[in-house]
């Protein structure tokens, strides 16, 4: 059984998760940029995407733990689902933006 003495702040963990993810993803993508495996634009976009996803995942995890601590298993399940949908949504929005940008660049090259 999980013991939760005090409820944790979801918003503060969202900020912490975003900052942690930005540091991690930023250093990882900077290294790939430095090795010329990614463009500067790609490295920044990937870092921003992973930072947002990390914040959502962290907030969802804390909200889930808080719900479990209250024995609110439906709420815990919903919090996991919201986290999954948030991370997935950010991924899909990012892919759409990248595809639209590539199409515009291709159109400009053809003109």
pLDDT in tens, 69-82: 999 999 999 999 99
User: How does pLDDT run across 77-110, given as a tens digit for each residue?
Assistant: 999 999 999 999 999 999 998 888 777 777 777 7
Residues near 75 by beta carbon (within 8 Å), at least 6 away in sequence: 63, 67
2 vs 88 pLDDT, higher one: 88
pTM: 0.83
Measured CA to CA, the distance from residue 106 to residue 92 in angstroms comes to 21
Cβ-based neighbours of 21, under 8 Å, separated by 6 or more: 50, 51, 52, 53, 54, 55, 58
Please write the tens of the pLDDT for every residue from 18-29: 999 999 999 999
């Amino acid at each position: 059984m999980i013991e939760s003495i005090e409820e944790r702040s979801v918003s503060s963990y969202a900020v912490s998760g975003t900052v942690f993810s930005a540091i991690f993803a930023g250093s990882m993508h900077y290294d790939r940029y430095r090795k010329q495996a990614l463009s500067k634009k790609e490295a920044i976009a990937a870092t921003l995407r992973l930072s947002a996803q990390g914040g959502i995942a962290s907030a969802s995890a804390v909200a889930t733990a808080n719900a479990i601590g209250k024995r609110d298993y439906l709420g815990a399940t919903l919090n996991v689902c919201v986290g999954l949908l948030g991370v997935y949504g950010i991924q899909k929005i990012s892919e759409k933006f990248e595809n639209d940008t590539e199409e515009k660049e291709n159109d400009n090259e053809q003109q």
